[in-house]
Amino acid sequence: MSAEASASQRTVSGPPLVGVLALQGDFEAHERMLHAIGVRTRQVRVPADLDGLDALVLPGGESTVMSLGVAREGLAEPLRALAARGLPMFGTCAGMIMLDREHLGILDVVAERNAFGRQLHSFEASFELDGVPGGPVHAIFIRAPWISEYGPGVSVLAAVDGHPVAVRQGRVLALSFHPELTGEERLHRFFLSLAGLLPEPAKED
Amino acid sequence: MSTNGHIARDESTFTTKAGLAEMLKGGVIMDVVTPEQARIAEAAGAAAVMALERVPADIRRDGGVARMSDPEMIKGIQEAVSIPVMAKARIGHFAEAQVLEALEVDYIDESEVLTPADTANHIDKWAFKAPFVCGATNLGEALRRIGEGAAMIRSKGEAGTGDIVNAVTHLRKIRSEIRWLTVLGPEELASAAKELQAPLPLVRQVAADGKLPVVLFCAGGIATPADASLVMQLGAEGVFVGSGIFKSSNPEQRARAIVEATTHYADPERVAAASTGLGAAMESIETSKLGAEQLLSPRGW
């Protein structure tokens, strides 16, 4: 817990700064959600972009493209080091895959790619998600992964037909679906709240 | 855990169709004609592959009627890679599209690169579970395709030339017509819709949002990393590269370089590094030297 505490000691005042991995995918949709909530964002393409972040989002996209990009840019070690120091991280779909044991190894899970099938089996569904009040979450799954294995430190927050699709480990949150595409702000708020970064509700731009 | 029981799923909605295009953003979609090429494309960082029998440069050279690819070839490519696999149907050839949907391709390209099957009508794309991408040379054409159910648009350019000029023209046209709509008054939009030959509700939506309601990629003539950077700076949200990769002297390296330049399109030093030592680009054709009957981009209505 001390690592988490040190990472949460922000030295800069003003709205939190959340990095969004911008190698490929729907990173701009995440930025729109975060701006609407009142936090600042920075697109992350190279290690220098990671300096001074309060949290990091790994967006949806193609995980093979992101993996190759992470390797090309030398981002894997800096990302693992930040995770070890307790930087809060939030992955959606390909971002969930990037966080798993077989990729960055930040989440103690195995994400099975395209587990729900090809694009014809992409779907929308609504369900309750532990820790997110206000009724069912409407979720969009696109060639989505599910969690096929997870360690004891991982909490499953929601499942579809018995397959975990939302997991949390400390201040790392991963979803198989895309709240950034449905305008569902509660998941981004939930993450920022886990990260201790949620702006005051009265905030107006 | 909150949810153990069966959850009702709503499959293949317009949101899931347009959503896959959102996932492809910032990426490069590469034409491939064999499973081996598909594997090379995936390993180089393609966000998706377009499975077809001949790349546009060869279709242009060979002439004759260009049709949907052999299902066996498409299946071989689907088995070779884990990224989305797209395939082309002829304009208006809904039976080819039905075959591609039965093969579970991830996106159908109703493409002017193939020989059109209908001289007046495009496919009714609302009738399909598979999403469609369509080409456009201007905003009206893009909105007509979206009105027919397309979930992604690509500017057409001139496929198989290696000449970027028409890609630039079409992208600039679409973007400038979008900007034009945003400054019109509400009472002027019906007239604008008539001028664009586009559905009024979509014209209103574009005027309000300042962008297309679906993702816009650029296609047709991209041959170099700098070409990718150019069209991304002009507002493309990703690129299709047809003949430009596997008709070049070093496809694997060029594919990686175009992926890198698409990610770092706004950083000239990175585009310069990606452009270095790539060998020869594809054999190219100057579009302005082509006769009207040799142009592919006017196909579509």
Q: Give tens-digit pLDDT for A7-65.
A: 445 656 789 999 999 999 999 999 999 999 999 999 999 999 999 999 999 999 999 99
CB pairs under 8 A between A and B: 140
Length, in residues, of chain A: 205
pLDDT value of residue A200: 74
Binned at pLDDT 50, 70 and 90, residue B5 comes out as: low
- Residues A159, A169 contacting (CB under 8 angstroms): no
pLDDT tens, position by position, A101-133: 999 999 999 999 999 999 999 999 999 999 999
Q: Give the span between the Cα atoms of B270 and B285, in whole angstroms.
A: 28
Q: Which of A30, A103, A178, A188 is catalytic?
A: A178
- Tell me what the pLDDT averaged over chain A comes to: 93
Task: Say whether pLDDT at A96 is over 70.
Answer: yes
| Residue A129 to residue B2, Cβ atoms within 8 A | yes
Task: Say whether pLDDT at B96 is over 60.
Answer: yes
pLDDT tens, position by position, B269-285: 999 999 999 999 999 99
In chain A, which residues have their Cβ closer than 8 Å to the Cβ of B3?
Answer: 127-128, 158-160
Kindly tell me the number of DSSP H helices and DSSP E strands found in chain A.
Answer: 7, 11
Task: Say whether pLDDT at B1 is over 50.
Answer: no
Buried-exposed string B80-111: b where 16+ CB fall within 10 A, e elsewhere:
bbebbbbbbbbbbbbebbbbbbebbbbbbbbb
Q: Give the span between the Cα atoms of A199 and B5, in whole angstroms.
A: 35
pLDDT value of residue A1: 37
In chain B, which residues have their Cβ closer than 8 Å to the Cβ of A67?
Answer: none
A112 is catalytic: no
ipTM of the complex: 0.94
pLDDT value of residue B288: 92
Binned at pLDDT 50, 70 and 90, residue B111 comes out as: very high
When CB atoms are compared, the residue of A60, A121, A123 closest to B23 is A60
| pTM for this model (two decimals) | 0.95
Q: Which two tokens stand for residue A97?
A: 């895959």
